[in-house]
Amino acid sequence: MRGYMVATWKMAWDGVKKGQEVLRAGGSVHQAIIEAVKMVEDDPEYHSVGYGGLPNYNGEVELDAAYMDGDTLGYGGIMGVKNLKNPIEVAFDLCHYKRNCLLAAAGAEEYARKKGYAFCDMLTEEAYLRYSRQTKQMDMEKLEAYGGHDTVCVIGKSGDTMACGVSTSGLFMKLPGRVGDSPVIGSGCYADSEVGAAAATGVGEDIMKGCLSFSVVEKLRQGVPVQQACETALREHMERLGRSGHRPGSISLIAMDREHNIGAATNKKAFPFVVGDLERNTVLYAAVNEGGKMSVICPDEAWIQAYQGD
């Protein structure tokens, strides 16, 4: 498949549609990506991004985000930030700087306040109820952060410019201060307009061990076709983790090359992703993994109805 935008999970559908409208109206690829991510951040229905994100062990929503401009290789990221309405805006802001482009916790919040970004209470009643039910059953000694994943990652291309934005509340019940792959350059995302862009969602600790987004982009640089680049990067990483005796959690990848070709791979059974295609349609696809053999399908209505995730 080929497209102008590709984004992780079914939840990105409305955002990709909005991003396409921005492009159609003459907006930049950066505006399109930011609008797409913000739609997911603002929607309380989605429990691992922005408002309504599930909290950490202390009941606080801690947010991570990143943005990479593939023309300049400018990279901005924030991590462990509380009560910031749209983390992606601040990550994008920071990608224009040569220094101080990755900010954590209080420092990132101070920067966002000074620049006038909106703050609000990001913990919804529903997220708090889920947290309360969970804490009753939990023993700190046995703490294992929730293994599901739904980070929103959006890659876009317009003209020759490629870019990528990522936003997440990380893993449910994570330890306070825990940071995953999402804001870490080359792990959660990477974009180089000369070559292509890639992004990852899943268990950050496992993704970071392979710097997986950078790994996919480097394969593109070597001339590997984009679908093969995603599959090979993931398979090699899984094999390496296997040799180390580590059993990784779920990992999924999306990528786009500079000819607008799109690839995706997952170690889950299925991983839905959304493409804003060259004919301006918004299309849901899924990478399906049957015993290590990957295929990309265009799911039918029954598949979509049966799908339980975000």
Q: Is 181 in the site for ligand SD4 (CB under 6 A)?
A: yes
Q: Is 150 in the site for ligand SD4 (CB under 6 A)?
A: yes
Q: Is 187 in the site for ligand SD4 (CB under 6 A)?
A: no
- Closer by beta carbon to ligand SD4, 20 or else 168: 168
Q: Give the nearest distance from C-beta 300 to ligand SD4 in angstroms.
A: 26
Please choose, out of 25-33, 118-126, 143-151, 218-226, the segment that lies near ligand SD4 by the rule CB under 6 A: 143-151
CA distance 271 to 309: 9
CA distance 243 to 97: 40
Q: In this structure, what are the phi and psi dihedrals at residue 110, rounded to the nearest 5 degrees? A: -60, -45
- Closer by beta carbon to ligand SD4, 86 or else 193: 86
Please choose, out of 54-62, 122-130, 154-162, 199-207, the segment that lies near ligand SD4 by the rule CB under 6 A: 199-207
Location of structure tokens 């529903």: 126
Please choose, out of 67-75, 128-136, 176-184, 223-231, the segment that lies near ligand SD4 by the rule CB under 6 A: 176-184
Q: Is 204 in the site for ligand SD4 (CB under 6 A)?
A: yes
- By rule CB under 6 A, what count of residues binds ligand SD4? 14
Nearest-5° Cα angle at 26, 20 to 28: 75
CB burial readout 86-119, b (16+ within 10 A) else e: bbbbbbbbbbeeeeebbbbbeebbebbeeeebee
Q: Give the nearest distance from C-beta 250 to ligand SD4 in angstroms.
A: 8
Tokens of residue 71, six digits: 């023309």
Nearest-5° Cα angle at 104, 99 to 109: 100
Secondary structure class of 62 (helix, strand, coil): strand
Secondary structure class of 233 (helix, strand, coil): helix
**Per DSSP, what are the bridge partners of residue 295?**
288
Identify whether 151 is a catalytic site residue.
Answer: yes
- Closer by beta carbon to ligand SD4, 203 or else 230: 203
Please choose, out of 10-18, 202-210, 217-225, 233-241, the segment that lies near ligand SD4 by the rule CB under 6 A: 202-210
Please report, as ranges, the residues that interact with ligand SD4 according to CB under 6 A: 48, 149-151, 168, 170-171, 180-182, 201-204
Q: Catalytic site residues?
A: 151
